[in-house]
Structure 1
Amino acid sequence: MSSKSRLDRAYKNAKVIPFDDSSKFILFSDCHRGDNSFADDFANNRNIYLHALKQYFAKGFYYCELGDGDDLWENIFYSHVLQAHKDVYRQIQLYFNQNRFTMLWGNHDMVYKKPEYVKKQLYSYFDKRSGTQKPLFPGIEVHEAIILKHSQTGQELFLTHGHQADWWNYVCWKWSQFLVRILWKPLNVMGIADPTSPAINYKELIKVERRIKDWIQANNNLITIVGHTHRPRFPSPNEIAFFNDGSCVHPRCITGIEIENGQISLVKWETSTTDDGTLKIVREMLEGPRKLSEYHMFKAN
């Protein structure tokens, strides 16, 4: 099956979420939450990520996580990830309890495509203090893709992880998982990165992006938002409508995409210092805001 076929299938089976100009969405991906060990890339940015989620929750945003939220390649047991970042999951739980959270699976959490695994790991967790099972995300469904569809204009935004365009990390993900656990996780602790990852391998990154752009062009310039490569992308209205929200494991910062007031923006959250030496977490607008209506569909050749 080609990358085109995989993306076609994801689009066909995507969950549709209606929205309008009053809707607010924050899109993050590639958090790669781990066990808080030296190999846990998320741990360095955890406080930035948690602060951002709290700010968005207070402002009424809907949180879409576009895959690789949990790193279940490096970590065998999800319970270890949950224990390491329980404060983060408590915040996400607030979104879930108000029906303001949707989770997609990527290559590093591809086990979530199995409903039985999701039920076992995500519906509830064992609380050591009380010795009982407590609800986490009861009844949650983890999707491969979603479509945000404007209720007035009918405009669609296609959201998925993007690894459908990466043969090795989609078709052969179990081999990748094995190699990461056995080989690359120990080497990562020593500072050696996995060269098979498109986030590290620039040539592979370009190939993945080209395949996604080809698919977008074949689908009338459908606005498509992905993660996977960790490289933020924000096109102008006269370019191919290919967006990437970046990742939450950049050095010292996280990036994401906001949709608010019928507009789309690329933002960064990072730790900054004031003149008196006080540390604070700040939000910076990297690109936008641009009106979604500026991104027009065109007929494929």
Structure 2
Amino acid sequence: MFRMQRLTQVFQTAPEIKIDEKEPIVIMSDCHRGVGNWSDNFAHNQNIYKAALQYYYNKYFTYIELGDGDELWENSNYQDIKNQYKEIFQILEKFCNKNRMYVIYGNHDEIKKKIGMGKEFCNCPVYEGLILKEADYSIFLVHGHQGELFNDYLSGISKFLVKNFWRKLENFGMHDPTSPAQNNKAKKITENELIKWSSTHNQVIITGHTHRPMLPKPGEYKYINAGCCVHPYGITAIEIHDKSIFLVKWSLEINDKGVICVSRKVLVGPERLMGYF
């Protein structure tokens, strides 16, 4: 009940962003950029992510970050994260300067609703939710933690526990049991509730939060998940272009010459976008 109410509240107050079907869009979630220490889950994928960002910038994509872009539960100083990933933030700023970037906050970077991306970052606004509005359809974008006890209503307590307790235990292989990304039971509950919300409101919704990428066939359900950028094998993203939607994976591959390179692979799609409406 709480999740349904919170999602509806965000949906009803979310700004609409008018989009053109000719403009390609990429949606990424849960980068959890840290400070390069042992608990920084983003560190091993930083070059893959940087290569993907550069690809999308060169191909004139609009970049949408779907929450938990930065790990601001474990790390108090946002500037430390920016200093660690200076080149990545330079690419992000290029998107921002071209008005091709939108940022949604999640539970781990909720503080951005107060501080944004930083004054030096071209004043890029940060939202709790957005609606992509095209002439024939709309897509609701939100991180997906809304309505959860420990990740929404008691997020302050969770932040304290992660920073002072679970972060240290993570180095010994233990995971935070309250996180849907690390608890399969919690993950399934979250997914089922998001599917229920999208069905009840007959509304396509794209989230992150669970870290599990998902692109159903048109007609199955209207819940889509961008996955995350901290998979052991690489990163996932949702692309929207050519009137279609794709789930893609970026990872390290060895080419025919035996050289390690960053590779983009379509996991699901293309699926006709209008088939979901």
TM-score, with normalisation over the residues of structure 1?
0.89
1:71-86 to 2 correspondence within 5 Å? 71-86=71-86
Paired with 1:21 and 1:262, the residues of 2 have a C-alpha distance of: 6
1:1-301 to 2 correspondence within 5 Å? 2-114=2-114, 117-118=115-116, 122-124=118-120, 137-151=121-135, 153=136, 155-220=137-202, 222-296=203-277
Kept in 2: contact 1:266–1:286 (CA 8 A): yes
Paired with 2:17 and 2:226, the residues of 1 have a C-alpha distance of: 19
- Which SS does the other structure have where 2:146 is aligned? helix
Kept in 2: contact 1:20–1:262 (CA 8 A): no
- Which SS does the other structure have where 2:42 is aligned? helix
Deviations 1:218-276 (A, max 9, x none): 102x1110000000111111211110000000003100000001111000000001244
| Seq. identity, % | 40
Gaps of 5+ in 2: none
| AA aligned opposite 1:98 | K
TM-aligned CA deviation for residue 167 of structure 1 = 2.6
- Structure 1 stretches of 4+ with a deviation exceeding 4 A read none
Gaps of 5+ in 1: 125-136, 297-301
TM-aligned CA deviation for residue 165 of structure 1 = 4.3
Larger radius of gyration: 1
Deviations 1:144-191 (A, max 9, x none): 01111113x2x0001110001423211111111000000111112233
Question: Which shows bigger deviation, 245-254 or 9-18?
Answer: 9-18
TM-score, with normalisation over the residues of structure 2?
0.97
Paired with 2:23 and 2:139, the residues of 1 have a C-alpha distance of: 13
Kept in 2: contact 1:30–1:227 (CA 8 A): yes
TM-aligned CA deviation for residue 210 of structure 1 = 1.2
- Give the aligned partner of residue 129 of structure 1: none
Paired with 1:157 and 1:150, the residues of 2 have a C-alpha distance of: 9
Kept in 1: contact 2:33–2:71 (CA 8 A): yes
| AA aligned opposite 1:109 | D
Paired with 1:266 and 1:165, the residues of 2 have a C-alpha distance of: 26
TM-aligned CA deviation for residue 206 of structure 1 = 0.8
Equivalent pairs, count: 277
